[in-house]
Amino acid sequence: MRNNISAPLELDTHRPQLLRFAMLQLRDESAAEDAVQETLVAALQGAASFSGQSSVRTWLIGILKHKIIDHLRRSSREKPLAPAPDETDTADFDSLFATDGHWAEQPAGWGNPDQTLQQSRFFEALERCLRDLPKSTARAFMMREVMGLESGEICKELQISTSNYWVMLYRARMSLRLCLEQNWFQGDASSRSQT
């Protein structure tokens, strides 16, 4: 039989990747372990529902996303998110702009997006940059961009104001942009692979 995933061992080979994924958002090792464990159990129980149209990993990550959202909901009820003061302030990006508010340095082109998104090394760089984001910022940003939740829902879940939410997502995007610029685009990793 193709795609026979009833063997726990096979599912287990995905555990490290799933853990990294969960850690980025939960930032708590035991919560991440729990979410991954729940995912693998759910996968085992629902193995029959695996269509084989996507890869096993894609299927597992789909389940994991739901488990992570469950965890975030539970933990934000127990302990509401408290963004650090500098997570809701944009002053540290001031140096990117001249005093008249124009770019101090013009943003650069980032080459061919399709090519970049085919490279697993790019995603390793992205993952490192995500890990550098402060906890609350990363949580709000990933709920929006990885989980695809609506802004209103995220503010409600995390109990943050809309204006703080916008600042946090702005901060996340500005930081990631600078980090990728330094660790991927400027490092020439992308242009090397194109030649």
Partner 1 sequence: MKFNLNCKETSRLLSQAQDGGLAFTERLALRIHLRLCDGCTQFSQQLDFLRRAMRAYPGPDSNAEKDNTRG
Binding site for partner 1 (CB under 8 A): 1-4, 10, 13-14, 17, 20-21, 55-58, 61, 90, 97, 100-103, 106-110, 113, 116-120, 122-123, 126-127, 142, 144-146, 148, 150-151, 162, 165-166, 169-170, 173-174, 176-177, 180
Q: Which of residues 120 and 195 has its CB atom nearest to partner 1 in the complex? A: 120
Asked whether the beta carbons of 154 and 143 are under 8 A apart, the reply is yes
Q: Which of residues 118 and 186 has its CB atom nearest to partner 1 in the complex? A: 118
Tell the smallest beta-carbon distance from residue 144 to partner 1 (Å): 7
Q: Which of residues 74 and 104 has its CB atom nearest to partner 1 in the complex? A: 104
- Report the C-alpha gap between 158 and 92 in whole angstroms: 24
Q: Which of residues 79 and 108 has its CB atom nearest to partner 1 in the complex? A: 108
Compute the half-sphere exposure of residue 110: CA atoms within 13 Å on the CB side of its CA: 15
Q: Which of residues 56 and 69 has its CB atom nearest to partner 1 in the complex? A: 56
Tell the smallest beta-carbon distance from residue 180 to partner 1 (Å): 8
Tell the smallest beta-carbon distance from residue 70 to partner 1 (Å): 20
Tell the smallest beta-carbon distance from residue 167 to partner 1 (Å): 9
Tell the smallest beta-carbon distance from residue 117 to partner 1 (Å): 5
Asked whether the beta carbons of 90 and 41 are under 8 A apart, the reply is no
